[in-house]
């Protein structure tokens, strides 16, 4: 009897240590903080090191690939001339205005489309068509309608983000548990109470995450808008640097755009974790 049970016992022996997944490859599990920070640092240090090696120890023309030292010098030069602050503030103002207008419209519209099938049937087809029209293609019309001042730049950012915000918020509403809505009606809740006290609070994390993703589109569009017609802005600075073949200044502006965008991403993540802690429980 003992001998017959031994093979059965062996079938349940743990797999050899070499066959177990390491902490690096575990699916849907957190990794140790030390490894997390090491990987984050490496994601920045490794590309910078490759860039430094290529620009300093190869025959690459510095006009096409400036060294990190040259880019730092270009940034310092732009800063000393006062361009950095003015350009960043000009671009930030356009992004903030256009994205804020898109948020003000997309939140109620997205909630309405997600909550009411009638509104969704009426609005989703036209929004689905408009969102596939590239926002930069509207530039000629915006210039004709709004001129060359700030209005067309803000309108371009608005057009490029409002439709994506709306559809992503609409999709978030679809995942609100129907039990919450039915319970609210059972307790005597009205339609407006379901919208304001159940649906809206439930999708706040999704709204913040939507804005975190789509704000990157706004920064892409503001550069395009400033390439067309602008006196100040990071896009305008890139265009001027291209005219005079100052690739070091182009790299400096691109890095500034990346750092600013990453800072916004961290800000939205911080708001999400501090104001919506219940969503992570």
Q: Has residue 62 been placed in a domain?
A: no
Please indicate, yes or no, whether residues 206 and 270 belong to a single structural domain of this protein.
yes
Whether residue 4 is predicted with pLDDT greater than 80 in this model: the reply is: no
Please indicate, yes or no, whether residues 20 and 90 belong to a single structural domain of this protein.
no
Please indicate, yes or no, whether residues 157 and 232 belong to a single structural domain of this protein.
yes
Instruction: Convert the pLDDT of each residue in 150-197 to its tens digit.
Output: 899 999 999 999 999 999 999 999 888 888 888 888 888 788 888 888
Please indicate, yes or no, whether residues 38 and 110 belong to a single structural domain of this protein.
no
Q: Has residue 63 been placed in a domain?
A: no
Please indicate, yes or no, whether residues 158 and 120 belong to a single structural domain of this protein.
yes
Residues 6 or more apart in contact with residue 158 via CB below 8 angstroms: 98, 99, 101, 102
Buried b (16+ CB within 10 A) or exposed e, 236-261: bbbbebeeeebbbbbbbbeebbeebb
Q: Has residue 177 been placed in a domain?
A: yes
Instruction: Convert the pLDDT of each residue in 219-229 to its tens digit.
Output: 999 999 888 77
pLDDT of residue 196: 86
Q: Has residue 212 been placed in a domain?
A: yes
Please indicate, yes or no, whether residues 51 and 186 belong to a single structural domain of this protein.
no
pTM of the predicted structure, to 2 decimals: 0.82
Q: Which domain holds residue 6?
A: 2-12+14-57
Please indicate, yes or no, whether residues 177 and 202 belong to a single structural domain of this protein.
yes
What confidence category does residue 281 fall into, taking pLDDT thresholds of 50, 70 and 90? low
Please indicate, yes or no, whether residues 85 and 43 belong to a single structural domain of this protein.
no
Please indicate, yes or no, whether residues 158 and 184 belong to a single structural domain of this protein.
yes
């Amino acid at each position: 009897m003992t001998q017959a049970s031994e093979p059965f016992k062996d079938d349940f022996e743990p797999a050899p240590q070499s066959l177990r997944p390491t902490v690096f490859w575990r699916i849907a599990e957190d990794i140790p903080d030390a490894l997390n920070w090491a990987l984050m640092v490496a994601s920045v240090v490794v590309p910078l090191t490759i860039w430094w090696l290529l620009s300093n120890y190869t025959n690459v023309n510095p006009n096409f690939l400036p060294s990190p030292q040259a880019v730092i010098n270009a940034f310092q030069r732009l800063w000393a001339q006062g361009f950095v602050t003015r350009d960043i503030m000009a671009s930030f103002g356009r992004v903030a205005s256009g994205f804020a207008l898109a948020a003000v419209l997309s939140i109620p519209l997205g909630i309405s489309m997600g909550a009411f099938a009638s509104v969704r049937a009426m609005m989703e087809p036209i929004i689905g068509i408009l969102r596939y029209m590239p926002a930069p293609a509207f530039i000629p019309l915006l210039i004709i309608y709004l001129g060359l001042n700030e209005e067309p730049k803000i309108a371009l950012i608005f057009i490029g983000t409002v439709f994506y915000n709306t559809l992503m918020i609409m999709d978030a509403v679809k995942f609100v548990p129907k039990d919450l809505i039915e319970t609210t009606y059972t307790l005597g809740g009205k339609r407006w109470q379901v919208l304001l006290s159940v649906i809206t609070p439930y999708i706040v994390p999704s709204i913040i995450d939507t804005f975190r993703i789509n704000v990157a589109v706004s920064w892409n569009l503001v550069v395009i808008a400033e390439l067309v017609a602008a006196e100040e802005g990071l896009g305008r600075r890139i265009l001027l640097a291209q005219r005079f073949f100052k690739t070091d200044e182009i790299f400096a502006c691109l890095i500034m755009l990346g750092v600013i965008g990453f800072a916004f991403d961290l800000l939205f993540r911080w708001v999400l974790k501090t104001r919506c802690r219940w969503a992570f429980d």
